[in-house]
Amino acid sequence: MANSKAMGKTMFEDFQVKGFWWLPEKEEHVPGILFYKQDKIELELMGTLESNERMFMEPTNQDIVWGRSDKGEEFTLFSAYSNGVSASFPGYATESYQVNSFLVGGHFHQMNDIQFSYCSFAPTYLSTWFKRNVFLQETTYDQTDHFVRDRKITYTRPSAFKYYIPSINSHIEEGHLTKFSGVLHEEINWSSKSILYITPEHSQSMEWFKENIFSLRELLILFIGSTVYFEQIEFIGEEEIREGNSETYRPRYKYFQSQDKSKFKPEFKEKDILVKFSHIEENFNNILNSWFEKRNTLDTVRTLYFTDYYIEKDYLHKTFLNTIQILEIYHRHVYEGKLFEEDYYNQNVAQLINYAKSSLPEDFVQTIEKKLKHGNEYSLNKRLKEIINSLEKDSKLSLIGNSDNRDRFIQQLVDTRNYLTHYDKSEKKKLLETTLEKFYAIQRLKAIATLIIVKELGVKESLMLEVLENNSRYKFVLNKAKEFLNKKPKVNQ
């Protein structure tokens, strides 16, 4: 609907805002409409932000655009990419932009101009994951005709956690948004939604908050086992004094970005959850701290792991390579992974290169140097063996099988990875050739990756194994993986 007040909207609603728009360094205000859709943000202007002469020039992108709606709200648009200028004669020039994100509530010259005291945000499925039973229903029946005589709904604000997280010098707190609406004589709507707060010890920039909000969303994805979106994000500023009196207040700002909700599940149920909050609630404080503490160490691993939740399914070969890379990079960061002491290796390499330079052609020497650059690192085979052998006995048997099955699986991964990288089938006897073999190898690898990442956060391996074994999706694909990958090779008659 046009003329909507954006502060009352969520990122799950489409709306339009009429107003005037301009560049911070310009005085001319241009009328136009900001269109917010869940997967796209566009600014349509009846004029141009810079000058009418721009219609004859290359389109210009804008880092910041300011706006004021006809409802009096102030907007700061971030990263506006020009779609170009058009004009008709007689007529006037028009201009449109694709906008990355925007903030409602003020004008800022750049994203980090303002310091916020804290923020609140509502990720999807959070209420289902926490499972706080805030409503209690009591029904009384008539003893003669068994009709309902009395029904009461009672709301009890649940106890909520508030943890101090040393690794980010902040508190993370559980909260609840409760709404009551309706007409008492006809219809009542009563809802409660779980939200999260991040409150740092000292005010922080918008970029700081976004980094930690998105990092926390990844942790929720890991446990919930499904793509998580933001329904709303609010930032609360530092205390200010109102003009005209001495009252203090904290300004509120609402943040909007586009989201491709193609993987959103409107009928998400408790049974869809991978790791229930009740399983890890007692240790959740330490899990949160470990997550933020280790996020830099696991940065590339996290990127590869969570990418699959938001992009459309890529072709099988790339997904296979990415999934193996998760374990390979994890090993490189967490394990030693060196064949020799670094100084000893470097000394011998230097001697070898010096000898080669004195005896061999330059192009051959360059090839040797490239080969030796990573020559002190474990092979993929050795990395996979070390990761899998570090698992508990029950995990190895449940996820893969006996030692022969594990050796076969590792060789299948190595041979197939090498083939997909170099397309050379020579001496690759355990190549995964069918689509189903590769698919179930990926599912097994994802289960292993999930297990080791969650274990890295302090969750017991036995608990995570039990979760995987009882999860309907993982239970099916892991059994199928054994069927397709553990079979012995055919013997030629």
Question: What is the Cα–Cα distance from 448 to 390, expressed in whole angstroms?
Answer: 11
Burial class (CB in 10 A: 0-12, 13-18, 19+), 204: buried
- 83 contacts 59 by C-beta, under 8 angstroms: yes
Q: What is the pLDDT of residue 316?
A: 84
Residues 6+ apart with CB under 8 A from 386: 331, 335, 378
1 Cα distance to chain centroid? 30
Burial class (CB in 10 A: 0-12, 13-18, 19+), 255: buried
Q: Which amino acid belongs to residue 471?
A: N
Cβ distance 155 to 137 under 8 Å?
Answer: no
- Give the type of residue at 192: S
What are the helix (H) ranges across 281-391?
A: 284-293, 299-310, 316-334, 342-359, 362-373, 380-389
Q: Do 416 and 441 meet the contact criterion of CB atoms below 8 Å apart?
A: yes
pLDDT of 174 = 95
What sign does the dihedral 165-258-453-159 (CA atoms) show? positive
SS3 state of residue 123 = strand
Distances in whole angstroms, Cα of residue 422 to Cα of each of 415, 425, 431: 10, 9, 13
Q: Please answer whether residues 74 and 19 qualify as being in contact, where contact means their C-beta atoms are separated by less than 8 angstroms.
A: no
Helix (H, G, I), strand (E, B) or coil at 70: coil
SS3 253: strand
3-state helix, strand and coil shares in percent for the chain, rounded to the nearest 5 = 40, 25, 35
374 Cβ contact partners less than 8 Å away, ≥ 6 residues apart:
none
Write down the H helix ranges in 51-161.
126-130
Alpha carbon 169 to chain centroid, angstroms:
22
Q: What is the pTM of this model?
A: 0.85
Helix axes 435-456, 472-485, angle to 10 degrees: 130
CA distances from 132 to 23, 255, 270, 275 (A): 46, 27, 12, 16
Of 322, 332, 320, nearest in space to 431 by CA:
320
Residue 335: how many other CB atoms lie within 10 Å: 14
396 near 451, Cβ under 8 Å? no
**Alpha carbon distance 468, 395 (integer Å):** 10
CA distance 223 to 278: 11
Residue that has been written with the tokens 């499904």 in this structure: 226
CA atoms within 13 A on the CB side of 275: 22
- Cα atoms in the Cβ-side hemisphere of radius 13 Å centred on 471: 22
How distant is the alpha carbon of residue 27 from its chain centre?
39
- The DSSP bridge pattern shows strands 74-86 and 170-183 to be unpaired
**Ordered per-residue pLDDT tens for the chain, 493 residues:** 444 699 999 999 999 999 999 999 888 899 999 999 999 999 999 988 886 555 555 668 899 999 999 999 999 999 999 888 876 656 678 899 999 999 999 999 887 778 899 999 999 999 999 998 888 888 888 777 777 778 788 888 888 999 999 999 999 999 998 888 888 778 888 888 999 999 999 999 999 999 999 999 999 999 999 999 999 999 999 887 777 677 888 899 999 999 988 888 989 999 999 999 999 999 999 999 999 999 888 888 888 888 877 666 557 888 899 999 999 889 888 876 566 566 665 666 666 677 677 777 777 667 766 665 666 567 888 889 999 999 999 999 999 999 999 999 999 999 999 888 877 776 667 889 899 999 999 999 999 999 999 999 999 999 999 999 999 889 999 999 999 999 765 544 3
